[in-house]
Amino acid sequence: MSVKYDLFPAFVSILPPDDPTDIGGLTSGPPSPRHARPLDKARVIVLQNKIMIAVDSDQGPRIVFQEKYDTPLFTRSSSRDVDSHLTTASGKKLAFRRNDACGCGSRLRSWNPYNTLNSKNDPTE
């Protein structure tokens, strides 16, 4: 699992695939297109071919969005104040950037979605 980008806390906007808004015109914060689904204080994790977005809930971190994408459709911004953009395999458009809030008290800060156990011996065999 190759991590390309891990951002917390983040502003995120998601547009459905049928929205005519150009990806470059999508912003993570206001003003945003009318049909955009906004999230704030989210954690955005971009893997080699998949994006995951998690938010804090009463039960702890919860993944609210997860989808595959093609690598050329991810544009990472080099500035904290400029949105990064990604288009998923199904055509959903996303914009995200750093939220200057501290994210204090959020369980997303210490959440480790990369926790995996690797074993060469399968205990079920």
Work out the pLDDT band at 70, boundaries 50, 70, 90.
Answer: confident
Phi and psi (nearest 5°) for 79? -115, 145
Calculate mean pLDDT across residues 69-81. 87
pLDDT range class, residue 1, cuts 50, 70, 90: low
pTM of the model: 0.85
For residue 34, what pLDDT is reported?
75
CATH class of 3-98: mainly beta
Q: What is the pLDDT of residue 36?
A: 87
66's CB contacts (< 8 A; 6+ apart) are 50, 51, 52, 53
Sequence-distant (≥ 6) Cβ neighbours of residue 109 within 8 angstroms: 8, 103
Return the number of other C-beta atoms located less than 10 Å from residue 3's C-beta: 11
CA dihedral 12, 17, 23, 28 (to 10 degrees): -10
Rounded Cα distance between 55 and 64, Å, is 7
pLDDT value of residue 81: 85
pLDDT (tens digit, 9 = 90+) per residue, 76-93? Answer: 988 888 999 999 999 999
